[in-house]
Amino acid sequence: MKETETEQTLKKVKRNSKLLWLAFVISLFATIAFWFLMNNSNPEYEEVSAVVLSSEKVEYVNRKTNTRTYKYEVKVKYDGKTYDLHNAHNAYSYVEGKTITAYKANNKLFANVEGVKTATPLANTYYVFLFSSFGLLIIAPSYSAKYRQKKKEEKVNPK
pLDDT at 2: 62
**Mean of the per-residue pLDDT values of the chain:** 90
Q: Point out which residues pair with 7 in neighbouring strands.
A: none
Residue 70: pLDDT over 60: yes
Confidence of residue 155 (pLDDT cuts 50, 70, 90): confident
pLDDT at 39: 87
* Average pLDDT of span 67-92: 92
Burial of 113 (0-12, 13-18, 19+ CB in 10 A): middle
How many residues make up the chain in this entry? 159
Give the helix/strand (H/E) hosting 53.
strand 46-62
* Average pLDDT of span 122-139: 95
pLDDT at 11: 86
The alpha carbon of 135 is separated from its chain's Cα centroid by a whole number of angstroms, namely 11
DSSP strands (E only) in the chain: 46-62, 67-78, 81-86, 99-105, 108-110
Least confident stretch, 66-75, 131-140, 150-159: 150-159
Q: Give pLDDT tens digits for 10-29.
A: 888 889 999 999 999 999 99
Residue 1: pLDDT over 60: no
d(C-alpha 150, C-alpha 145), whole Å: 9
**pTM exceeds 0.85:** no
Residue 151: pLDDT over 70: yes
The alpha carbon of 22 is separated from its chain's Cα centroid by a whole number of angstroms, namely 21
Give the helix/strand (H/E) hosting 98.
none
Tell how many helices (H) and how many strands (E) occur in the chain: 3, 5
Residue 159: pLDDT over 80: no
Least confident stretch, 53-67, 102-116, 141-155: 141-155
Q: How many CA atoms lie within 13 A of 39 on its CB side?
A: 6
